[in-house]
Amino acid sequence: MKPFRVVGVIGKRREPNIELLREVCATLRRLGCDVLIEDNAAFGSSELATRVDRDQLAQRCELIVVVGGDGTLLDAGRTLAATHKPLLGINQGRLGFMVDVPPESMHEGLAAVIGGDYVTEERLLLSASVERGGSRDGGTRLAVNDVVIRNQATIRMIEFETWLDREFISNHRADGMIIASPTGSTAYALSGGGPLLHPSLSAIALVPICPHTLSDRPIVVDGQRPIRIVIRGVDRAQAMVTFDGQTSETLEPGDVVEVSRAAHPLSLIHPVGYSYFRILRDKLRWGSGPSSAHERV
């Protein structure tokens, strides 16, 4: 694989992240890289990295290293996916489904990746818009994990319809609906009883949140066909739509939320030996107990 020479770093400038940010930048410099760091993550010294904004980071870097948890990578993924710049995650969060390089193996992992010893992966992104009165003034939003329609700060249900392209699926009375990408199938959708989707699939999961009818179950649909959620009633509750749980918009009866596969994927880099199923075993504690022969291979 192609080695990297100009590398960007994104992270949060707060303890204990700051020390790991310094270590990452110092390691990259020792490996012969030109290092750029996002200005809101930069620390005092300019000897290890050049401070730039995120737009410059995307323009100038060949690889972007994200230091933090899955939330930090979600934010970077939404804003940088259109640039096709690959992301490598150094885990300093809690779960780390996406930021899969642990701090204790950061030096070895970076050395391998910078030298060209890595694997690439492309993951489906969600593109969403809200139509109100026939117009979409709010533009298009991206989500790495999920688009969630839910009631807002009340315990009352909302009523809505689901459509796949122009094909009617069902009416719903529920607390909401999770529309999850394969990446997001291990997040909110999983806690709502949704299925795990392998990240290579072109598929989207629809997971009702606490539906009034117990037969209203999660379903997996073709990722190539747009999904439309039509808000019919909010039962004296306000409805809202959130994108990766980080941005939101209030919904009204008659609004239509359309979710589809984004035109461009999220590009990720992993060290050689990365296994999605190993991540699941570790994070979800599958097969807890004595290690199997497969694990020792």
Residue 187 annotated in ligand binding: yes
Residue 174 annotated in ligand binding: no
For 227: left if phi > 0, alpha if psi spans -120 to 50, otherwise beta; the answer is: beta
Q: What domain count does the chain have?
A: 2
Find the domain containing 151 and state its range. 126-261
Cβ neighbours of residue 166 closer than 8 Å, sequence gap 6 or more: none
- In one-letter notation, the amino acid at residue 84 is H
| pTM listed for this prediction | 0.91
CATH number of the domain that 52 lies in?
3.40.50.10330
Residue 156 annotated in ligand binding: yes
DSSP 166: T
Please report, in tens digits, the pLDDT of each residue of the chain (297 residues total): 999 999 999 998 776 678 899 999 999 999 999 999 999 887 766 789 999 999 999 999 999 999 999 999 999 999 999 999 999 999 986 777 889 899 999 999 999 999 999 999 999 999 999 999 888 887 899 999 999 999 887 778 999 999 999 999 999 999 999 999 999 999 999 999 999 999 999 999 999 999 999 899 999 999 999 999 999 976 566 899 999 999 999 999 999 999 999 999 999 999 999 999 999 999 898 987 655 555 555
170 and 238 housed in the same domain: yes
Residue 1 within any structural domain of the chain: no
Catalytic site positions: 70
212 and 245 housed in the same domain: yes
148 and 256 housed in the same domain: yes
Instruction: Give backbone dihedrals phi and psi of 124, rounded to 5 degrees, phi first.
Output: -65, 135
